[in-house]
Amino acid sequence: MKHPKPRHNVSEKVKPTEEKYNPEKNPPRFSFRYVIEQAPFDYDSLEKEDKVHLVDRLYKLSQLTWAEIRLSSRHKLGCEKIEEGLKSKISNCAPADANILAFRFSGMAAMLGYRSAFGTFYIIAFDTKFKAYDHG
């Protein structure tokens, strides 16, 4: 006689503790909490089409782990570290020791932010006019 599989309630599942959580093996989480509120870098300055492309990019990135993102091209689904030349009004939105990363969306427009130790990407600015940092 076959025994039925026990039904598990979602609340019964063991959730990983923050000490054991490895963000490299998990997809990023995105937060708009610290987005600058100054044009042209704020969310409201984005064109409607840019907002659609932004959501599309966030969806695609959420299907990858941080490790997979690191292996992707910086102009595709990967990101690049902004070493210098970031406008001070934007850099003030991030902790002083944070590495500022840029993800591309809507062509070559950049979504700037920083990653927390637990894998949350805090978006701080959108650069559709290429004015947020020195592009070389």
pLDDT tier for residue 46 given thresholds of 50, 70 and 90: very high
Establish if 40 belongs to a structural domain.
yes
Establish if 9 belongs to a structural domain.
no
Residue 25's Cβ-count burial label (10 Å; 0-12, 13-18, 19+) is exposed
Establish if 8 belongs to a structural domain.
no
Look up the domain containing 44 and give its range: 21-127
Establish if 81 belongs to a structural domain.
yes
**Torsion angle of alpha carbons 115, 118, 122, 127, nearest 10°?**
30
Statement: residue 113 has pLDDT above 90 = yes
**pLDDT value of residue 64:** 95
Number of domains in the chain: 1
Summary mean pLDDT of the chain: 87
Establish if 110 belongs to a structural domain.
yes
Establish if 86 belongs to a structural domain.
yes
The CA R_g of the chain, rounded to the nearest whole Å, is 18
pLDDT tier for residue 67 given thresholds of 50, 70 and 90: very high
Establish if 67 belongs to a structural domain.
yes
Is residue 27 within 8 A of residue 115, CB to CB? The reply is no
Establish if 99 belongs to a structural domain.
yes
